């Protein structure tokens, strides 16, 4: 499983969801644009928001499936969205990013900034080899986010998604460690290769090493 962590960028703090996020999560996930593109409960109730913030988001990390972050404003601390990893393949070191941005925070490049921050953590600190992103062919806002975050468009997956009763085609994007800006790549190719191999063979050993490094 991924280690619990807090990530920071110029404008944002990415941290675990908590009780205080319940009202804003409910408002964000009830929003018609969020509802249009994500297979969320409809209507999205206070119970749904409570379950996500206190249980479901944390269970995804515990199960090894991924890790979920609340995107918050570094200044005001208000919730601005969600970004997270899912469908993690620990052997291939591949994981898929997903996100929504709260209606009050849209149009300011928040999703791209949060996705880039998470990508650097995944592809450097966590030594993963590929981050995937899938967006419905008609979800142009999400595809704009993918390109702004530096992803490469790989092609269309026919009938690969399901949103509120309808099959949709998905555009597949990917980001590899070599796609990150050189200044943000980890130093020492040999060290990185060794760490990656260690993570593949024995994820627990890698976690123990990470804990030592960060303590």
Ligand X SMILES: CC(C)(COP(=O)(O)OP(=O)(O)OC[C@H]1O[C@@H](n2cnc3c(N)ncnc32)[C@H](O)[C@@H]1OP(=O)(O)O)[C@@H](O)C(=O)NCCC(=O)NCCS
Q: What 3-state DSSP class applies to 55?
A: helix
- Window 153-212: residues binding ligand X (CB under 6 A): none
Of the pair 29, 195, the CB lying nearest ligand X is at 29
Please, which residues have CB within 8 angstroms of residue 84's CB and are 6 or more apart in sequence? 57, 60, 66, 67, 68, 69, 97, 98, 99, 118
Q: Nearest 5 degrees, angle CA 12-CA 4-CA 85?
A: 70
Of 95, 127, 101, the C-alpha closest to 114 is 101
List the beta bridge partners of residue 7.
14
Of 128, 62, 120, the C-alpha closest to 95 is 128
Which segment (12-20, 58-66, 88-96, 98-106) binds ligand X by CB under 6 A?
A: 98-106
Of the pair 88, 115, the CB lying nearest ligand X is at 115
Which segment (10-18, 47-55, 117-125, 138-146) binds ligand X by CB under 6 A?
A: 138-146
Of the pair 142, 206, the CB lying nearest ligand X is at 142
Q: What 3-state DSSP class applies to 60?
A: helix
Q: Is 100 a residue that touches ligand X (CB under 6 A)? A: yes
Q: Is 2 a residue that touches ligand X (CB under 6 A)? A: no
Q: Is 141 a residue that touches ligand X (CB under 6 A)? A: yes
Considering the complex, what minimum distance in angstroms separates the CB of residue 136 from ligand X? 7
Q: Is 52 a residue that touches ligand X (CB under 6 A)? A: no
Site string for ligand X, 101-130 (x = CB under 6 A): x----xxxxxxx------------------
Of 113, 135, 66, the C-alpha closest to 94 is 66
Site for ligand X, rule CB under 6 A = 33-34, 37-38, 99-101, 106-112, 135, 139-142, 144-145, 148
């Amino acid at each position: 499983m991924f280690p619990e962590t807090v990530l920071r960028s110029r404008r944002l703090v990415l941290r675990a969801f908590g009780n205080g996020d319940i009202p804003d999560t409910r408002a964000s996930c009830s929003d018609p644009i969020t509802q249009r593109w994500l297979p969320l409960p409809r209507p999205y109730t206070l119970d749904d928001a409570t379950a996500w913030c206190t249980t479901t988001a944390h269970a995804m990390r515990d199960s090894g499936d991924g890790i979920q972050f609340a995107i918050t404003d570094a200044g005001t601390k208000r919730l601005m969205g969600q970004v997270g990893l899912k469908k993690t393949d620990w052997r291939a070191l591949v994981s898929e990013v997903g996100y929504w941005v709260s209606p009050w925070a849209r149009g300011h490049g928040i999703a791209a900034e949060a996705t880039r921050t998470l990508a650097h953590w995944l592809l450097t600190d966590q030594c993963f080899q590929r981050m995937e992103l899938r967006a419905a062919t008609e979800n142009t806002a999400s595809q704009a986010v993918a390109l702004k975050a530096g992803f490469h468009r790989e092609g269309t997956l026919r009938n690969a998604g399901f949103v509120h009763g309808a099959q949709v085609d998905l555009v597949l994007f990917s980001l590899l460690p070599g796609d990150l800006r050189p200044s943000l790549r980890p130093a020492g190719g040999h060290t990185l290769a060794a760490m990656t191999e260690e993570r593949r063979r024995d994820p627990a050993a890698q976690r123990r090493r990470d804990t030592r490094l960060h303590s």
